[in-house]
Chains A and B, each alone.
Chain A
Amino acid sequence: MRKLFLSLFCCLALSVCLIAQQNSGNSHEGHNHGSHDHSGHDHSGHDHSGHDHSGHDHSGHDHSGHDHSGHDHSAHDEHKLDCAHAGHGHHGEFDPGATAFHHVGDANVYSIGPLQIPLPCILYNTNSGLDVFLSNKFGFESMGHGDGHYAYKGYVLDGGVVRMIADKSFPKEKTEIGGVIHDKDDKAYVCALGKMYPTHNNSTADFGLFGGGITPFYDFSISKNVTTMFIVFLLMFWLFRKIANMYKNRDGQAPTGVQGFIEPIFLFIQDEVCKPFLGDKYMKYLPFIMSLFFFILGLNLFGQVPFFGGSNVTGNLAFTFVLAIFAFFVTNLSGNKHYWEHIFWMPGVPAWVKTILTPVEVLGVFIKPITLMLRLFANITAGHMVIIIFASLIFIFGKSGESVIGSWGTVIPSALLSFFMMSIELLVAFIQAFVFAILTASYIGAAIEDHEHHDEEHAHAHAH
């Protein structure tokens, strides 16, 4: 049993190492997009007013862009983007959607309640190379929203998120900024030196799904999510080592304490997930399935602790992507002859059916991990967002502090709704970890199924 727990943590350690590099995957794409930028195409698909940024792009026709298109000024007016209004607060009007996306996203500060703790930033762009510094260089308030008062090396901190100033001529040293404002497409502009500089968003390898977009700078920062992953990893390592030692020292005795809490969960996953799906060879895959289950469970539960980081690691597409990649490789690398035969040349069906079946089966190989990735991500993110929206009700009814009666009147219903939702989320934390484990086990089980016993097992499954 002790060996088992230790091998379990070798797997965990490996996954943490890989996940810590989560951002490197997207940066390649980011680079491509960056070069796309140079050719003057701009993000016209992304923002509605494609014209007004072209002037700020490094495409060479800086001012000609301004002169040419008379749209520029009208577009600015329309968006009411004006540095005179740039405070350090966010938007004047409360936007629950943006608030929710901001809170489920990744950040370069770790927040415990209102306290903001700086985290290391490891940033790279092709222009200025690698920069490593603590995010307190941005000079944000320790009790605030993580809005930096300074630009550093061409980066700014906006709501806890690092953004890069697109203009390469921006001074690299610490420069005071007047604030960051957003247009209605959530593109951020930095007000500094009497001008407005457009920025590149920090994207968190979520394929731009959360408005981050694909960026031309590489972000390998130890962000909030990565910090949480390390915390949970160390917590779990400590916990499982302790349990492993308990099994060693108290051999043959009844489990006590935390051992008694984990053992039923462990046995449940072993007996309900691993044994039925993986058959005789379940011991080979048990560490992997258990690592997945306990790591996801730990992160789910940790992410639900209110005011403590509020990190949404399992609701980060990059993280679930890495887990799905693991499942994909373990499944396909352990697939036997029959598994591949069933994919490429399904036995026992006419040839014309095979021509339809084979592409479907080949697609299925990729769709399975993709659904694993999306299911976990969407469930956890949806849960977090609903809680934030319920909390936002206070601000919606209170009209951002204008209506005191409205806000106080909503506090109790909102707290009750949040409490209800959090109870459901507690259940979802277990269910999603279980579902991820059971689906991975079933995919692996299908890949390693022995053909000799196939019919027998089939009958066995039916008897259940």
Chain B
Amino acid sequence: MVGSIAAIGMGLAVIGAGIGVGNIGAKAMEAIARQPEAVGDIRSNMILMAALVEGAALIAIVFCFLVAGV
């Protein structure tokens, strides 16, 4: 039971991160289209931001593992 709830929680965390990383990617693409010469700066900042968003989701997933007791 706890494992199933943890699995649902994992899914929810991934939805959140998906929306976040999707937004970052979309805006980065937009920014690159507007200013192709800034592609290097935008790319590294995009990766940084995506990593930060992803980090929150991954922490949630790790806690889900912990709760589920594997």
Contacts and interface: CB of A to CB of B under 8 A. Distances in A.
A binds B: yes
B26 interface: no
Interface in A111-126: none
A41 B51 CA distance: 42
Of B40, B47, B69, most buried by chain A (CB within 10 Å of CB) is B69
Contact of B58 (A209, A211, A374): A374
B70 A378 contact: no
A360 to B, nearest CB: 16
> In which size bucket is the chain B interface?
10 to 19
B69 A435 contact: no
Nearest to A97: B70
Contacts of B70: 101, 186, 209-211
9 nearest A-B residue pairs (beta carbon): A378-B58, A435-B51, A375-B55, A371-B55, A211-B70, A374-B59, A272-B44, A374-B62, A438-B48
Given A272-B44, A438-B44, A464-B41, A375 B51 contact: yes
A435 B46 CA distance: 11
Interface in B27-70: 40-41, 44, 47-48, 51-52, 54-56, 58-59, 61-62, 65-66, 69-70
A431 B47 contact: yes
A378 B56 CA distance: 11
A101 B69 CA distance: 13
A374 B61 CA distance: 10
Interface of B: 40-41, 44, 47-48, 51-52, 54-56, 58-59, 61-62, 65-66, 69-70
- Which secondary structure characterizes the binding site on chain B? helix
A435 B47 contact: yes
A421 interface: no
Interface in A191-238: 209-211
Nearest to B38: A464
9 contacts: A209-B70, A210-B70, A371-B55, A371-B56, A371-B59, A375-B51, A378-B59, A379-B58, A382-B58
A46 B68 CA distance: 11
A439 interface: yes
Contacts of A370: 59
A434 B55 CA distance: 14
Interface string A373-410: 01101110010000000000000000000000000000
Given A209-B66, A209-B70, A439 B51 contact: yes
Contact of A209 (B41, B51, B59, B65): B65
A434 B44 CA distance: 9
The interface residues of chain A, by DSSP majority, are classed as: helix
A377 B54 CA distance: 12
Nearest to B42: A464
Contact of B54 (A211, A375, A464): A375
A375 B59 CA distance: 7
B66 A434 contact: no
A209 B55 CA distance: 18
Nearest to A101: B70
A434 B62 contact: no
A29 to B, nearest CB: 15
B70 to A, nearest CB: 5
Nearest to A431: B47
A434 B47 CA distance: 9
A374 B65 CA distance: 13
Given A434-B47, A439-B51, A464-B41, A375 B58 contact: yes
A378 B66 CA distance: 13
Contacts of A378: 58-59, 61-62
B62 A209 contact: yes
Contacts of B52: 439
Given A378-B58, A378-B62, A431 B69 contact: no
A374 B55 CA distance: 7
Interface string A100-113: 01000000000000
A101 B52 CA distance: 26
Contacts of A371: 55-56, 59
A377 B48 CA distance: 17
Nearest to B65: A209
Nearest to A436: B51
